[in-house]
Amino acid sequence: MSRHPLFMPLIVVGGLIFGFGLGFSHMARPEVVIDFLTFEDFGLLFVMFGGSIVAGLAFWSLSSTGGSAPLTGRPYGRRLKSFDRNVLLGGSVFGVGWGLSGICPGAAYASLGVGNWPILYALAGMFVGAYLQGVWRSESSTTGSAVPSDD
């Protein structure tokens, strides 16, 4: 599998901006997320809306050109996933975890970057959780029909 030489550098640049933004937004701090969820500070709405509007403009403008990406040849498309009960079930389980801990995956990575070493407890938990559901679901579906995703 050969990749364009600029593929990894671009991932690095995108990740650096993404992580800096999570630090700047304070979303890397569980306390800020918990304050949002308990109606103490509604600022996090601007993180999600600001982020999705910028990303949405890029998705919309590029996918409407019908072109494909220079580094991968992939056609520009939107992020569309099929709806089923798992979206509600998984979303609910995630909601319990997010409400209890105040941390989600991307913010947890950024939290490590701002020097918050106790977030390693959360990251360890996330790997345990991802492993558990992977074991359950690998056993329930022996065919490899699952579609890879880009989350």
Partner 1 sequence: MITDFLGSGAIETLFPNGISRYAIGGLLVGLGTAVIYLGTAITAGASTFLESTLSYVSDRSRFQQYRASRDWRVVFTVSIIAGAGVYALIYQGEPWALAGSAWITEVAPWRLFVGGIFVGIGTRIGKGCTSGHGICGVGSVSRTSLVGVATFLVVAIITANIVAAVGVTP
Smallest separation, CB 76 to partner 1 (Å): 5
Interface of this chain with partner 1, residues 102 to 121, rule: CB under 8 A: 102-119, 121
CA dihedral 7, 12, 17, 23 (to 10 degrees): 150
5: contact with partner 1 by CB under 8 A: no
Q: Pick from 2, 5, 50, 66 the residue near partner 1 by CB under 8 A.
A: 50
Task: Report the alpha-carbon distance of residue 60 to residue 37 in Å, rounded.
Answer: 30
Smallest separation, CB 66 to partner 1 (Å): 12
Interface of this chain with partner 1, residues 13 to 42, rule: CB under 8 A: 13-31, 34, 37-38, 40-42
Binding mask 55-94 for partner 1 (x = CB under 8 A): xxxxx--x-----xxxxx-xxxxxxxxxx--xxxxxxxxx
| Long-range contacts, stretch 102-108, CB < 8 angstroms, 24+ apart | 102/29, 102/30, 102/31, 102/32, 102/33, 102/34, 102/37, 103/30, 103/33, 104/33, 106/18, 106/22, 107/22, 107/27, 107/28, 107/33, 108/28
Q: Pick from 45, 64, 65, 66 the residue near partner 1 by CB under 8 A.
A: 45
Smallest separation, CB 64 to partner 1 (Å): 12
Smallest separation, CB 9 to partner 1 (Å): 9
60: left (phi over 0), alpha (psi -120 to 50) or beta: alpha
